[in-house]
Chains A and B, each alone.
Chain A
């Protein structure tokens, strides 16, 4: 028995040690560092809650943080409505198993496997005001397209569109898997009773894919509030134009590692921001999960 104990310990040690050094210890550090002022890379003085107060209530952080938070909220709401709404319809269309539905699944999921850097740069070229594909296509039907990424009123929307293009397939295939779990009899019975596609989608399918809705809601929420790569690649570190695409991920990065204009690291305020983002995401996800789970119906 002792030999078996040693064997089990040997199996567990490499993984546990890696987790301890590169997950547990840093996570503890993330909370600890938020209470310190920094001198370069080293924590200097214990400053209590002052980093948190600075980030939430004092210039220059306050304005940027709340403007960014508002943008994150817009991103989340738009992705839920448009990206995931369209994904729901696509999934329903795929459920009908018309010819080429498997090919369509492969195509719709293709962007999901690519890096946000590739997707971001590709669409940055396509959205170019003069030479971009999008405005070239609009010109064919006589529309003079705006400079999508250079205009404060269209920049964030353009980024949301690109994010939707990137991850539509993920949401669609999660919905599709949920729909495939609905028993055939339920759908047949509704059809025999004369339910149209619209009624089916709203009254039958929607409540029965509740578990998929829960997952997609949580994934979209976490993704929206950790949004960084796409705005960084397409709009730069300051969320150009004029901060119209600034989000919390960019504010955090600028605070912690310095922006283009000031290369100064500020790990104290950065840590406080990271802790606040972590708590916000964790608490909201937990509350949302409780609420969403309650509306799931066990089949």
Chain B
């Protein structure tokens, strides 16, 4: 099939160039994390002269980046745990039972997909203030759960509907309770869909900047993207430290992505591709 036509060469060149432009910035970011200012300015493209950990030590000793990282991990993990629990429960009810308001309940959840919650930031701010949840990680988490429910219910309802009814029926005949059928028989089968829904929501929560920017003011409660913006301002002349900070902030999700690229791509394009 492969022919060296001008078209084929052009397409290959395009891919090669594009790959370079996409990947090289990360290479420079990681290399610069080990360089001093002078070395970055003198030889931006070269490999670092030595594996100098000064920048990374300075970040760990002088800044709160580790705290921001822990906050982001805590908020993302707890949001996803609650989101998947609530979302799966609701989706299971909608997908596996017939009841009078079923279509309306489903529409109620799915309509949330059309609502850009960012534009409701003012009422959310007032709402959190009333509930005494302003400037708390719990408040942020509850908003992320609410924001993720429409897509989670949508994905899981679609998947749970496709599961065959026979397993459920035979367990019911043998006298298993509804809760037991759901927990032990049906939900283990729904794991792939839960992974997709989990990743689709975990990535935007981990990366979110807007809600913390508005809701969180106490430094020790800030999330990683928010804390990073503070850090970038404080060290703005110290490029080695800046690149080291960006590298530390980017690495956790980059490593997860490289390990689970198939699931990440499927999760983040779910809904956009069939």
Contacts and interface: CB of A to CB of B under 8 A. Distances in A.
Interface string A69-103: 00000000000000000100110111010100000
Interface residues of B, number: 89
Nearest to A109: B265
B216 interface: no
A33 B122 contact: yes
Residue in A19, A169, A197 with the greatest tally of chain B CB atoms within 10 Å = A19
Contact of A133 (B44, B126, B274): B44
Interface string B249-274: 11001100110010011001100111
A22 B22 contact: no
Q: Is the interface of B mostly helix, strand, loop or mixed?
A: helix
Residue in A18, A28, A123, A196 with the greatest tally of chain B CB atoms within 10 Å = A18
A189 interface: no
Q: Is the interface of A mostly helix, strand, loop or mixed?
A: helix
Interface of B: 2, 7, 11-12, 14-15, 18-19, 21-23, 25-26, 28-29, 40-41, 44-45, 85-87, 89-90, 92-94, 97, 99, 105, 108-109, 112, 114-127, 129, 142-143, 145-147, 149-150, 153, 178-179, 203, 206-210, 214, 224-226, 228-229, 232, 239, 242-243, 246, 249-250, 253-254, 257-258, 261, 264-265, 268-269, 272-274
Interface of A: 4-5, 7-8, 11-12, 14-16, 18-19, 21-23, 25-30, 33, 41, 86, 89-90, 92-94, 96, 98, 104-118, 121-123, 125-126, 131, 133, 136-137, 165, 168-170, 173-174, 177-178, 181, 196-198, 212, 215-216, 219, 222, 226, 228-229, 232-233, 256-257, 267, 270-271, 274-275, 277-278, 281-282
30 contacts: A4-B97, A15-B87, A15-B109, A15-B149, A18-B86, A18-B142, A23-B117, A29-B127, A30-B119, A33-B123, A90-B15, A90-B18, A98-B12, A104-B15, A104-B18, A106-B258, A107-B19, A108-B22, A115-B209, A117-B226, A118-B246, A121-B246, A122-B25, A131-B44, A133-B25, A133-B28, A133-B45, A178-B273, A219-B272, A274-B119
